[in-house]
Chains A and B, each alone.
Chain A
Amino acid sequence: MPRIRVEVDGATYEDEVEPRLLLVHYLRERLGKVGTPVGCDTTNCGACTVLLDGLSAKSCSVLAVQADGRSVTTVEGLAPDGDEHPLQRSFHREHALQCGYCTPGMIMASADLLRENPDPSEDEVREGLEGNLCRCTGYQNIVRAVRSAAAEMRGSEVAS
């Protein structure tokens, strides 16, 4: 079996894995990183979105072996211990989640969206999150939360 070395949320892991093992199953079942859920099996829902070398990726459509030598950030490692990322705070503040199952993926996809576009319009957020499905919120508060976090992040950049 191939041997991989992956950095996940700041820690480095070495494992032998089946070539067919999906990254999301590696995270959940081998590393116990169960903060990243699985919502479908056709890459449509985006619940499993993580950052792979800083770019958003649906971890159900990446093999664990493809993550060899790379860095994975999940919702569990988005902010330093004990702290929350502006998106995590804004999702809470703006009531952008109900059952919360899509939330890890939605937050990770939003983080990548804001990296590309620090000041997205409402339509740009809607288009940017097209690959992440939510069944509870009707998306309106998600859009609001992403733009609210964007404003906060731009503010902090200016301040620093």
Chain B
Amino acid sequence: MTEIGQARPRSEDARLVTGRTRWTDNITPAGTLHVAYLRSPHAHARIDRVDVEAAKARPNVVAVLSGADFAAEQGALPCAWQVTEDMKLPAHPPMAVDEVRYVGEPVACVVARDRYSAVDALEDIDVDYTPLPTVVDMERAIEDGADLVHSDLGTNASYTWVFEQGDLDAALRDAPVLLERRFVQQRLIPTAMEPRAVLCEPDGSGPNTDFTLYSATQIPHILRLMLSVVTEIPEHRIRVVAPDVGGGFGSKLQVYGEEVLALLLARRLGRPVKWTESRSEGNMAVHHGRDQIQKVTLAAERDGRIRGLKVELLADMGAYLMLVTPGVPLLGAFMFNGIYKMDAYSFTCTGVFTNKTPTDAYRGAGRPEATFAIERLMDELAAELGVDPVEVRRRNWIAHEEFPFETIAGLTYDTGNYEAATEKALALFEYDKLRAEQNDRRESGDPVQLGIGVSTYTEMCGLAPSRVLGSLSYGAGGWEHASVRVLPTGKVEVVTGSSAHGQGHETAWAQIAADRLGVPFDDVRVLHGDTAVSPKGMDTYGSRSLAVGGVALYRACDKVVDKARTIAAHLLEASEDDLEFSAGRFSVRGVGDAGLSIQEITQAAFAAHNLPDGLEPSLDSDATHDPDNFSFPHGTHLCAVEIDTETGFTKIRKYVAVDDVGNVVNPLIVEGQVHGGLAQGIAQALYEEAVYDADGNLTTTTMADYLVPSAADLPSFTTDRTETPAAGNPLGVKGVGEAGTIASTPAVVNAIVDGLRPFGVRDVPMPCTPERVWNALREGGDR
């Protein structure tokens, strides 16, 4: 049976459905001390004095430390992306020393015998603050004379990054249709279900102490490197383990202060230390996502053909630049043109400091923002011209015979078939029928109006070709590593540098190895998420696991087969060229005998009694894959909403997603990724927003205030696929982790605006709550 393509239920489920999971907070070595953090209640203040004596005197308390205690050893949290030469990069201490710059920034910590005692003692830490002027609004932050987040920088602008291609001035001057819009990408809180947790266990003492750091992280390899850089503890003395990790969505693609401090506390105290965050502190202290103000101008001909696009962004960095904070909006720079052809494009982004939680990657990272803008604009263009929104896209998109296609943003899209995905989606959606119903409701003045939204998206994923990252001044490469160990009994261990936290690598990677090696699925075990087990890796983010890490595994498997072929030829006394390999067995072409199984060859390699001269007695292989290009999933999403014009309440009536993610290793996993992505994209459109008041207080610190949708808030989705294999890798895969999120937000908002257009509404800010829809109706209302 061909394993690749099978809808296998996942191997990892067995422990997850029975509660035998290994979350970081489940691990408590003997002698573990518990850490609790005191966090700033001020958005911006000078720290005048921290008095920890009373807290220290409490029972069960082992240590109480403030930023000053760590000042000499804590270094600064890293930013790996110097996006411009003159980018302003403020120092970011893991624990604040002199000044706090957002609500939730750590100021002191208690280390105690148990969790409750640690939290209790926080009450007795006395901090004197002098409040400083607070910068909350991005647009005001870059006005002359604005208060400063970092007074030493002299500005709140971290950088301005520009990309220009073609003669945009001519396009804007000559085009008969000009659309200018301002869209706001609200601030979001990623909200992985597992709160962050970190446990650091020292082994020994003195300069040669080894540390094992367990963390709920997406990036054990990057974290190990960065912890070493920040703390100057030698890299080989640090082992990072990402045990079972309960979701990430970008929020655990980070080097957090609490991780650095766990290492420093374990070194200082010589005992295991553990910290597990509460959701309320996590909402303040886990990096946030999105938060952009987008000013976009589209120039088009009267027949709907796009001439040019101008994008001017303000991107809220929050108070500091974290691991990839400044680069996130720039990932969108290459995507604002979407699937469309145009003559000219310009993109300008200014990163702005504010006294808010730092932003960084959140599912899609830059690409949802870009896709939202262009897909909203396409619907606006259709409305302006009185053309169907699908038709206006058809007039502009890259036709399937035009691939490979170099876009105005400088990327080469390898393959795609927008026509096929769109046709399939329109049929599943029953587009014409719903348009007819919409018309009926409009004509009858039905208080419940129907809106239809279109989103024909693409995205760049499979992050990333290392050379491209280099050209963008990113601090590392984008390759991935895999190794295959064939054990003496013929069982197989796959080691991947990709670090799953819900994506199902243990299943999908076993399918790839079983398929390529011709061994049973159950004979393969996948190991990941531990730098002692998996020595090399660039971890999991940016829909990269399969398109980069899966391909590395594919290549490593091929190397195993190549080695086995040499041994098989020797044992069968045949030429390698005469051997064929099928279903895990080498046989001499045209000869009827059984040949040798890969397990038999493994045993021969292990015994090493009769190997060709000079051949190493091992089939083990590894491969590091660095992609030549990104991959480009695409698809067509259609959303129908029913809007109660009397209450503003919006209900998704139908959602159809047809995605083309290339070849599929496990359709069950792919469908699950799409479902989850849709839920998060819809949540941005309808429900979620991190809200700050004028003083910089986050008012959505709990799940009661920040509305993560429940089952009752979401519809059932109709999902389907077209399969246009990626040209850039031998598996033909593209990646699927972010597609649903990227596509769905504009589909939903387009549907709402479409439903309200007869009332004069041209936009509804996200999240499109009943109140906002109702206000839009009232303000736009001309009937």
| A interface residue numbers (CB < 8 A to B) | 18, 20-21, 25, 28-29, 33-42, 44-45, 47, 74-76, 79, 84, 88, 91-93, 95, 97-104, 107, 122, 125-127, 129-143
B712 and A130 within 8 A (CB): yes
Q: Tell me, in angstroms, the Cα distance from A129 to B191 when the chains sit together.
A: 19
Please, which residues of chain A bring their CB within 8 A of the CB of B17? Answer: 75, 84, 88, 91-92, 97, 100, 103, 107
Task: Check A143/B712 contact, CB under 8 A, given A95-B672, A100-B244, A107-B17.
Answer: no
- For the complex, give the distance between the alpha carbons of A127 and B14 in Å: 27
Bound Cα distance from A133 to B710, whole angstroms = 6
Contact among A45, A107, A127 with B279 in the assembled complex (CB-CB below 8 Å): A45
Question: Helix, strand, loop or mixed for chain A's interface?
Answer: loop
Give complex CA distance A28, B26 in Å: 8
B703 touches A137 (CB 8 A): no
Least Cβ–Cβ distance between A27 and chain B, in angstroms: 10
CA distance A136 to B708 in the complex (A): 11
Q: Does B716 sit within 8 A of A, measured CB to CB?
A: yes
Given A100-B244, A127-B712, A138 contacting B192 (CB threshold 8 A): no
| Selected interface stretch from B509-517, B615-623, B676-684 | B676-684
Inter-chain CA distance A143–B675, complex, in Å, is 12
A126 touches B703 (CB 8 A): no
The answer to whether A42 and B280 touch across the interface, beta carbons within 8 angstroms, is yes
Q: In whole angstroms, what is the CA distance A51 to B255 when docked?
A: 38
Known contacts A40-B279, A138-B675, A141-B672: A99-B502 contact under CB 8 Å: yes
User: When the two chains form their complex, are residues B12 and A100 in contact, meaning their CB atoms are under 8 A apart?
Assistant: yes
**CB-based nearest B residue for A9:** B19
Whether a CB of chain A sits under 8 angstroms from the CB of B781 is no
Is B10 at the interface (CB under 8 A from chain A)?
yes
B21 touches A (CB below 8 Å)? yes
In chain B, residues 233-247, which have Cβ atoms closer than 8 Å to a Cβ of chain A? 244-247
Q: A35-B21, A138-B714 are in contact. Are A42 and B704 (CB under 8 A)?
A: yes
Complex: chain A residue closest to B20, CB-CB? A35
A37 to B195, CA, bound (A): 10
CA distance A137 to B673 in the complex (A): 7
Query: Is B179 an interface residue, CB under 8 A from the partner?
Result: no
- Contacts A35-B21, A41-B702 known; list 8 others, CB within 8 Å: A35-B19, A38-B25, A75-B17, A88-B18, A98-B676, A99-B246, A135-B708, A136-B676
Q: Judging by beta carbons under 8 Å apart, are A44 and B13 in contact? A: no
A100-B702 contact in complex given A38-B195, A143-B716, C-beta closer than 8 Å: no
Q: Which of B12, B18, B247 contacts A136 (CB 8 A)?
A: B247
B-side contacts of A100, CB under 8 Å: 12-13, 16-17, 21, 244, 246, 502
CB-CB under 8 A from B13, the residues of chain A are 91-92, 97, 100
Closest 10 CB pairs of A and B: A35-B19, A101-B246, A99-B502, A100-B16, A138-B675, A138-B679, A44-B703, A98-B502, A40-B279, A34-B26
Cβ-closest chain B residue relative to A104: B19
Rounded to whole angstroms, the CA-CA distance of A125 and B406 in the bound complex is: 48
A129 touching B115 by the CB < 8 A rule?
no
Contacts of A136 in B (CB 8 A): 193, 247, 502, 672, 676
B36-69 near A? 1/0 per residue, CB < 8 Å:
0000000000000000000000000000000000
Closest A residue to B34 by beta carbon equals A29
State whether A101 touches B711 (Cβ < 8 A). no
User: In the complex, what residue of chain A is closest to B249 when comparing beta carbons?
Assistant: A135
B194 at the interface (CB under 8 A from A): yes
Q: Is B669 among interface residues, defined by CB-CB distance under 8 A? A: yes
Query: Contacts A99-B501, A137-B675, A139-B679: A92 and B711 contacting too (C-beta < 8 A)?
Result: no
Q: Given A38-B195, A41-B278, are A103 and B711 neighbors across the interface (CB < 8 Å)?
A: no
Tell me the nearest residue of chain B to A140, going by C-beta.
B675
Q: Tell me, rounded to whole Å, the shortest Cβ–Cβ distance linking A133 to chain B.
A: 5
Q: Is B671 an interface residue (CB 8 A)?
A: yes
User: 27 A-B residue contacts at CB 8 Å?
Assistant: A25-B116, A28-B26, A29-B115, A34-B23, A34-B25, A35-B19, A36-B19, A40-B278, A41-B279, A41-B280, A44-B704, A75-B19, A76-B20, A79-B18, A91-B13, A92-B17, A101-B23, A101-B194, A101-B247, A104-B19, A131-B710, A135-B191, A135-B192, A137-B679, A139-B679, A140-B717, A143-B711
Q: Is B504 an interface residue (CB 8 A)?
A: yes
Give the chain B neighbours of A130 by CB distance below 8 A.
Answer: 710-712
B612 interface residue (CB < 8 Å to A): no
Docked CA distance A117–B25 (Å): 35
Determine whether B166 belongs to the interface, using a CB cutoff of 8 Å to chain A. no
> What is the CB-to-nearest-CB distance from A159 to chain B, in angstroms, rounded to a whole number?
24
Please measure, in the bound complex, the distance between the C-alpha atom of A142 and the C-alpha atom of B709, giving whole angstroms. 14
Report the minimal beta-carbon distance from A31 to chain B, rounded to whole angstroms: 12
Query: Which residues on the A side are within 8 Å of B679 (C-beta)?
Result: 135, 137-139
B668 in the interface (beta carbon within 8 A): yes
Beta-carbon contact of B115 and A25 below 8 Å = yes
State the CA gap A41–B414 with chains docked (Å): 47
Most B Cβ at <10 Å: residue of A18, A88, A136: A136
Do the beta carbons of A37 and B672 come within 8 Å of each other? no
Assembly CA distance A98 to B13 (angstroms): 8
Find the B residue at minimum CB distance from A100.
B16
Query: Which residues of chain B from 660 to 692 have any CB-CB distance to chain A below 8 Å in the complex?
Result: 668-669, 671-673, 675-680
B466 within 8 A of A: no
A79 and B246 alpha carbons, distance in the complex (Å):
23
CB distance from B502 to the nearest CB of A (A): 3
CA A100 – CA B243 in complex, angstroms? Answer: 13
Whether B245 lies near A126 (C-beta < 8 A) is: no
- Give the shortest distance, in Å, between A146 (CB) and chain B (any CB): 10
Which of A28, A103, A129 is most buried by chain B, counting CB atoms within 10 A of its CB? A103
- Other-chain contact of A139, B114, B246, B703, B714 (Cβ < 8 Å): B714
Q: How far is the CA of A13 from the CA of B194 in the complex (A)?
A: 28
Choice from A41, A125, A133 contacting B708 with Cβ under 8 Å: A133
Q: By CB atoms of chain A within 10 A, which of B28, B193, B247 has the most? A: B193
- B711 and A39 contact, CB distance less than 8 A: no
- Judge whether B18 and A133 touch: CB under 8 Å: no
CB distance from A117 to the nearest CB of B (A): 15
Instruction: Determine the residue in chain B with the shortest Cβ distance to A41.
Output: B278
The interface residues of chain B lying within 8 Å CB-to-CB of A127 are 711-712
B503 within 8 A of partner (CB): yes
- The residue in chain B whose Cβ has the minimal distance to the Cβ of A144 is B716
What distance in Å separates the Cβ of A152 from its nearest Cβ neighbour in chain B? Answer: 15
B9 within 8 Å of A by Cβ? yes
Q: Mark B343-355, 1 if CB is under 8 A from A, else 0.
A: 0000000000000
Q: Are B16 and A37 in contact (CB under 8 A)?
A: no
